[in-house]
Amino acid sequence: MSATSVRLLKRDAFAFAGGSALFVDDIRPDGLLHMAVVRSTRAHARVLRVDTAPAKAIPGVVRVLEGREASLHLRPLPYQFGEPELIGGRRAVLEALPIEEIRYVGEPVAVVAAESRRAARAAAAAVVVDYDDLPALLDARVFLADPDPRHVIAENETVSGDADQVLRAAEHVIRTEFSLGRSSTAPIEPRGYLADWDGSRLTVHAAHQQPFQLRAELAEVLALPVGSIRVVVPNVGGAFGLKMTGPVEEPLVCLLAMLCGRPVKWIETRAECFLGGGREQLHDVEVAHTANGRILALRDRIVIPVGAEAVQPGWRQAFVSVAAFPTAYRVPHLDVRSRVVATNLPPWHSCRGFGKEAPVFVMERIMDMVARRTGITPAEVRRCNLLRPDDLPHRMASGYRVDSGNLPAVLDQVLELDVGANDGMEADGVGLAVEVTPEGGGHAAGRREPGDAPTVAAPEAAAIRLRPDGTVEVRTGVTNPGGGNDTALARLAAGELGIAPAQVHVVQGDTDLCPPGTGNASSRGVAVGGPAVVLAARALATTLDSLGVEKIDAGIWTRHGPLEHVREYQPDPPADLAYRYSYPYFSSGAYVARVDVDRATGRVRLRSLTAVHDCGRVIEPVLVEGQLQGAMAMGAGLALSEESRFDERGVPQASSFKEYLAPRANDLPDFLIGHHETPAPHTLLGAKGAGEAGVGGALAAIANAVDDALSRQGGREVITAPLDPPAVLALLPEEAS
């Protein structure tokens, strides 16, 4: 039996389930102050006056900061993931607190530090802000009607061949539009920070994915040496991209701690958590195809409204959306161009999938539209267009490298698995989707200029130490926002050393103790962080063997005292310089969804969702399946119910889960998951990512299933998501609804 064939439980499962896990809000040092944020009530306005006197009069208030005073202490915020020019973007100078202009409802205008959370929030409510309203852009369709170039912050394209000529000459052309709604990642634990300044050293406990990036940002904004800042990440209750570096509250809570000389904590409210979002896109598509279903050309003009300009990396998802076309398929003539538009809604934050779910939705709807017009089954249309194993590695038009996989086999396997599990199930509609997911990208902490663009993803490092009690300590720059990658890292180290995983202690999320790393992003934790652990463990094993050390069930026995090794790992760079930064491996998957549609109410019931996933070598089966279940649940929510809505004044309509309809357990069936392992040729372990695949695949399969159900009832084609009851009723013929 191989070391990875034994299914290990997630290490912290019982701590999370039993309530003993320590989160940032559980840390309560003596003298603690609480921060609250004064937020704009206008979508776009000049700031005429910020009157903080009423707030300062409230008992317990220690400090109130508005934009002008904050600017005396804070430098402008640095862009995350490199400078915007790297991906065709424009630069803006952004302060932590605005001085003259408000750009969205909910933008921080001032912050308060007080003795209690209640006093801080009362003081924030007491601050008086006078505004002079300005015109606001709240809807991307308004931009389409009058495309003001001042709103365009980036333009991207993916082009190959001559799509215009092929479309003009083609006998079969589909013209349509697609749209995806804005959504949130909605982790159970919102963001939170606790900052403590002792006069020379700043310690920050943060619910965060990237402690080293946070440290670099704080050093730049606060004008502190990097070595004077320590970032510690305790347990994290989910992140999904929300808890990456860049939000303005990060330096503000630290500045208050420095000015007050006391620890200051800020815990985001649920309403504040729902301000951010992402994923909204509008597509204007033309597709040329043959009578037998072969795609000849695709032209797509995309408008991507990313909210207000921001330094956090969420808006960069727009670049990835364009670069990921045409996903899993061979399309010889491609012309995909986007305009990334700043609006007066809150800025995008990073979302699980990072822009890759949108092209999957578009391409999979196209496949079903071609199938319907040609009379060929959806599976056969996909088979004749899919990338084949002998096409790989495949250079996409954007330069992304599809490194490996067997998409036809994954498709066949999911169809077989679905029929075997659901034979005899009578569902109104059945939908199919195939997905490829570029993963493993990442940037080292700190500023990157346009001339510094790397050709491969950043490395990860690990340190391994034999402790005096015979157990082993692994320290890694990879963080664990709840997925349990420490379980896999411990298994890998134990396998190299020939000891039990229980004898390996994993230290994560501490910039003082761990070697630098990218934290948790782009499904790098095991595929890139794991090899660093393996290399360090192999070095330790070699040393132990040379010393004749005895290994026993309780650990490792040696007279030679502590032994330590540090190793760094980076995926193999492409041999061909035509390949583009920054994804070293592609995961893939295929999905089948079955749905029922209530014609009276428009409600969609998801009956079954089956997936076969290829993430290369599966290191930890329990964790991989958990990641897929979560991603598929998120995709189901995006398909059927989740949307961040705003009224005509730009005011968010969701302040709790009563308004933001994430799927509950009883909204979802048991998912059936199969594995297909095609080892990654450019990673040490053959592993790929398992954290983002499933979002786009589930979204597209469910949308196709609803479309199948509606077509049987004479309904119109699905071109939008989410497919909530009003959207479904609008697609049904009047006699049906």
DSSP letters of 220-260? HHHT--GGGEEEE----S--TTTTSS--THHHHHHHHHHHH
Percent of the chain with pLDDT over 90: 81
pLDDT at 451: 47
Indicate if the pLDDT at residue 2 is higher than 50: no
pLDDT per residue as tens digits for the range 175-187: 999 999 999 999 9
Q: Return the half-sphere exposure (C-beta side, CA atoms, 13 A cut-off) of residue 136.
A: 26
Which of 236-240, 254-258, 332-336, 442-446 shows the lowest per-residue confidence on average (mean pLDDT)?
442-446
pLDDT per residue as tens digits for the range 522-552: 899 999 999 999 999 999 999 988 887 766 5
Q: How confident is the model at residue 231 (pLDDT cuts 50, 70, 90)?
A: very high
Helix, strand, coil percentages in the chain from 3-state DSSP, rounded to 5: 30, 25, 45
pLDDT per residue as tens digits for the range 79-116: 887 778 878 888 888 999 999 999 999 999 999 999 99
Q: How confident is the model at residue 4 (pLDDT cuts 50, 70, 90)?
A: low
DSSP annotation of 544: H
pLDDT at 7: 65
pLDDT, average across residues 235-264: 96
Q: What is the DSSP string of 286-355?
A: EEEE-TTS-EEEEEEEEEEE--S--SSGGGGHHHHHHHTTTTTB--SEEEEEEEEE--SSPPB---TTTT
Residues 718, 446 contacting (CB under 8 angstroms): no
3-state secondary structure of 528: coil
Residues 508, 525 contacting (CB under 8 angstroms): no
pLDDT at 454: 47
- Reported as type and span, the H/E element at residue 18 is helix 13-18
- Which residues fall within 8 angstroms of residue 443, CB to CB, at 6 or more apart? 81, 82, 213, 458, 518, 582
Please give the model's pTM, rounded to 2 decimal places: 0.95
Averaged confidence pLDDT in the chain: 92
Indicate if the pLDDT at residue 401 is higher than 50: yes
Indicate if the pLDDT at residue 263 is higher than 70: yes
143 vs 457: CA distance, rounded Å: 35
- Count of CB atoms situated within 10 Å of the CB of 164: 13
pLDDT at 736: 61
pLDDT at 647: 97
Q: In what order do the strands lie in the sheet with 152-160?
A: 152-160, 333-341, 295-305, 281-289, 172-180, 720-721
Residues 435, 700 contacting (CB under 8 angstroms): yes
pLDDT, average across residues 43-70: 98
What domains, with CATH codes, occur in the chain? 24-135+185-275 (3.90.1170.50), 281-444+578-731 (3.30.365.10), 459-569 (3.30.365.10)
What values do phi and psi take at 474, rounded to 5? -110, 130
3-state secondary structure of 362: helix
pLDDT at 1: 34
47 vs 360: CA distance, rounded Å: 42
pLDDT at 441: 80
pLDDT at 450: 47
pLDDT at 84: 82
- Which has more pLDDT, 446 or 632? 632
Indicate if the pLDDT at residue 55 is higher than 50: yes
pLDDT per residue as tens digits for the range 635-684: 999 999 999 999 999 999 999 999 999 999 999 999 999 999 999 998 99
Q: How confident is the model at residue 444 (pLDDT cuts 50, 70, 90)?
A: low
pLDDT per residue as tens digits for the range 563-585: 899 999 988 776 665 555 568 89
3-state secondary structure of 189: coil
What values do phi and psi take at 534, rounded to 5? -60, -45
Helices (H), 427-481: none
The Cα diameter of the chain in Å comes to 84
Q: 440-454: buried (b, 16+ CB within 10 Å) or exposed (e) per residue?
A: bbbbbbbebeeeeee
Residue 373: Cβ-neighbour burial (10 angstroms; 0-12, 13-18, 19+): middle
pLDDT per residue as tens digits for the range 471-513: 999 999 999 998 899 999 999 999 999 999 999 999 999 999 9
pLDDT at 712: 96
pLDDT per residue as tens digits for the range 342-383: 999 999 999 999 999 999 999 999 999 999 999 999 999 999
616 vs 201: CA distance, rounded Å: 43
Indicate if the pLDDT at residue 561 is higher than 80: no
pLDDT at 562: 66
CA distances from 509 to 233, 379, 737 (A): 5, 44, 53
Nearest by Cα to 614 from 417, 478, 459, 414? 414
pLDDT per residue as tens digits for the range 278-317: 999 999 999 999 999 999 999 999 999 999 999 988 999 9
